Each structure stands twice: as structure tokens, then as C-alpha cells.
Amino acid sequence: MSNQLFNELIDNNYLVIEHEHAKITKPSQKKGSPLDRYRSELLFFRHEMGCSYHDIVKWLAIHKNVHRSHTQVALRIKQWEAEYAKQEKLPTKKV
């Protein structure tokens, strides 16, 4: 809807907005990469089955309808591995 049409509807009382009920909201937060949904499968294919990044990209495109380059998949898997390595190095408190 154009801005002019919107203002005209409000001026002619065709569109009534109650200001006490109107809320100004923030834009939604970034929901993350679509690859995050398939994290366990991607790590399984890469580490347990020894699949290449190209094979993983083909699987994502055919079975999950997610289209990413093999570079993006590789970077995301390396990021997950780095996060896991940091978790392993954190000292745990024994009770």
C-alpha cells in the first residue's frame, strides 16, 4: 500500500488505528543459517561417513531443498568444530 493511499484512508476514517493498542516492535532477530537445522546430519556425513563437501551440498539440495555452496558448508562445519573444541577445553567443576 502506498504511503499516500494509507494517509488518505486514515484521513477519511476508513482505516482507524487505535494508538493505545498499537505496538512498535523491533525487527525479528536473525534466525541463523538453514544449515543449523541439519547440523547433526552434516557432521555425521562428514566425520562418520567421510563424505565430501560436494556430496553434502548435493544431499542438501535434493533431500532438504537447501541450496548453499560447498564453501559455505565447509565454513559452517569448521565453525561447529571450533565451537566443540572450545567446549572440550572449558574446565568443568566437579562436585
Structure confidence by residue, pLDDT tens digits, 44-63:
999 999 999 999 999 999 99
- d(CA 10, CA 22) in angstroms, rounded, equals 15
Q: Are the C-beta atoms of 58 and 48 separated by less than 8 Å?
A: no
Task: Check whether 85 has a pLDDT greater than 80.
Answer: yes
Considering just the CA atoms, what is the radius of gyration of the chain in Å? Answer: 24
43 contact partners, CB below 8 Å, separation of at least 6 = 77, 80
Other Cβ atoms less than 10 A from the Cβ of 77: the count is: 19
Percentage of the chain surpassing pLDDT 70? 62
Q: Are the C-beta atoms of 73 and 56 separated by less than 8 Å?
A: yes
